Structure 1
Amino acid sequence: MARGRHLLLSVEPLNTLLEQKWEKFAAYMFAINFLLYVSYVITFTAVYYDRSHANKTDTMATTSGQLCGQICILTWAVALLCIEVASIIHLRLSDLQSIMTDAWFHILFFLQSGLAVLCTILNWAGVEFHLAIQVLAMALSWINILYYTRGFQSMGIYSVMLQKILLTDVARFLFIYLLFLIGFGTALASLIQGCQDSEQCSAFASFNTAILELFKLTIGLGDLEVQKQVKYPELFLFVLVLYVVLTFVLLLNMLIALMGETVENISKESKNIWKLQRARTILNLEKFLPKYLKEKFQLGKTFHGKRYIRIKEVNWTKWNTSLARINEDPGNDEEDHTIHHSLRPRRTSFRRPLHLWGRKKWNHGSPTDRKQQEEDPQSNVEMISPQDASQI
Structure 2
Amino acid sequence: MTSDLFLGADVATPRVTGLYFRKRRGGLLYYGEHILAFAACVGNQDIISMVINAGASTRAQDSIGNTVLHILVLQPNKTIACLVLDLLLARDVELDQAVPLDMVPNYHGLTPFKLAAKEGNLVAFQHLVNRRRINQWNLGPLTSNLYDLTEIDSLVADDDCSVLELIVGSQRREARRILEVTPVRQLVSLKWNLYGKHYFRLLLLLYLLYIGTFTLCCVYRPLKDAPENYTVSDMDKTIRVQKTLKESYVTYGDNLRLAGEMISVLGALVILLLEIPDMLRVGAKHYFGQTALGGPFHVILIAYAFLVVLLCVFRVSGVQGETVVMAVCLVLGWSNVMFFARGFQMLGPYVIMIQKIIFGDLTKFMWLSFIVLIGFSTSLWMVYMTQDPDSLPAYRSFPITLFSQFELSVGLIDLPVDHTITTPPIVHVLHCTFSVVSYILLLNLLTAMMSDTQWRVAQERDELWRTQVVATTLMLERRLPRCLWPRLGVCGLLYGLGERWYLRVEDRNDPLVQKMHTHILSLLHTP
Deviation for aligned residue 1:189: 3.9
Q: Deviations over 1:259-314 (max 9, x none)?
A: 233223323323212101111101111112445656x324344241132213466x
Percent of aligned pairs sharing the same letter: 25
Q: 1:284 to 1:92 in 2, by over 3 A?
A: same
2:232 paired with 1:38: no
2:183 paired with 1:13: yes
Whole-angstrom CA distance in 1 between matches of 2:255 and 2:383: 60
2:248 paired with 1:61: yes
Q: 1:308 to 1:245 in 2, by over 3 A?
A: same
Whole-angstrom CA distance in 2 between matches of 1:211 and 1:273: 39
Q: How does 1:138-287 map to 2 (within 5 A)?
A: 138-191=330-383, 194-195=386-387, 197-200=388-391, 207-220=398-411, 221-223=413-415, 225=417, 233=425, 235-287=426-478
Aligned to 2:502: 308
Conserved 8 A contact 1:191-1:230: no
Conserved 8 A contact 1:21-1:299: no
- One-letter amino acid of the counterpart of residue 309, structure 1: L
Deviation for aligned residue 1:173: 1.0
Aligned to 1:370: none
Aligned to 1:106: 298
Q: 1:245 to 1:120 in 2, by over 3 A?
A: same
Q: 1:203 to 1:97 in 2, by over 3 A?
A: same
Aligned to 2:489: 299
Q: Deviations over 1:344-374 (max 9, x none)?
A: 979xxxxxxxxxxxxxxxxxxxxxxxxxxxx
Whole-angstrom CA distance in 1 between matches of 2:315 and 2:416: 46
SS at match of 1:272: helix
Count of residues in correspondence between the two structures:
318
Deviation for aligned residue 1:40: 0.9
Conserved 8 A contact 2:314-2:322: yes
Structure 1: runs of 5+ lacking an equivalent? 314-325, 329-338, 347-392
Q: Deviations over 1:296-341 (max 9, x none)?
A: 324344241132213466xxxxxxxxxxxx5x8xxxxxxxxxx7x8
Deviation for aligned residue 1:58: 7.0
Whole-angstrom CA distance in 2 between matches of 1:226 and 1:140: 38
- One-letter amino acid of the counterpart of residue 137, structure 1: C
Q: 1:138 to 1:263 in 2, by over 3 A?
A: same
- One-letter amino acid of the counterpart of residue 21, structure 1: K
SS at match of 1:51: coil
What TM-score do you get using the length of structure 2 for normalisation?
0.53
Q: Which has the larger radius of gyration?
A: 1
Structure 2: runs of 5+ lacking an equivalent? 1-169, 226-239, 517-527
- One-letter amino acid of the counterpart of residue 15, structure 1: R
- One-letter amino acid of the counterpart of residue 35, structure 1: L
Conserved 8 A contact 1:10-1:272: no
Q: Deviations over 1:199-227 (max 9, x none)?
A: 34785576444433322321221317488
SS at match of 2:171: coil
- One-letter amino acid of the counterpart of residue 79, structure 1: V
Whole-angstrom CA distance in 2 between matches of 1:90 and 1:57: 44
Deviates more, 1:73-82 or 1:263-272: 263-272
SS at match of 1:187: helix
Q: 1:23 to 1:174 in 2, by over 3 A?
A: same
Whole-angstrom CA distance in 2 between matches of 1:292 and 1:193: 69
Deviation for aligned residue 1:125: 3.7
Deviates more, 1:141-150 or 1:199-208: 199-208
Conserved 8 A contact 2:289-2:296: no
For residue 26 of structure 1, the aligned residue among 196, 199, 204 is 196
What TM-score do you get using the length of structure 1 for normalisation?
0.70
Q: 1:247 to 1:3 in 2, by over 3 A?
A: farther
Q: How does 1:43-122 map to 2 (within 5 A)?
A: 43-51=213-221, 59=243, 60-62=247-249, 63-94=254-285, 98=289, 102=293, 103-122=295-314
Aligned to 1:2: 171
Whole-angstrom CA distance in 1 between matches of 2:457 and 2:395: 43
Conserved 8 A contact 2:392-2:417: no
Deviates more, 1:85-94 or 1:278-287: 85-94
Conserved 8 A contact 2:385-2:397: no
Q: 1:47 to 1:212 in 2, by over 3 A?
A: closer
Deviates more, 1:116-125 or 1:77-86: 116-125
Whole-angstrom CA distance in 1 between matches of 2:264 and 2:335: 17
Aligned to 1:389: none
Conserved 8 A contact 1:193-1:229: no
- One-letter amino acid of the counterpart of residue 277, structure 1: Q
Conserved 8 A contact 1:193-1:205: yes
Deviates more, 1:215-224 or 1:109-118: 215-224
Deviation for aligned residue 1:165: 0.5
Q: 1:100 to 1:157 in 2, by over 3 A?
A: closer
Please, what is the CA RMSD of the aligned residues? Answer: 3.3
Q: 1:49 to 1:211 in 2, by over 3 A?
A: closer
Whole-angstrom CA distance in 2 between matches of 1:274 and 1:2: 14
Q: Deviations over 1:51-77 (max 9, x none)?
A: 358996874523221222222222222
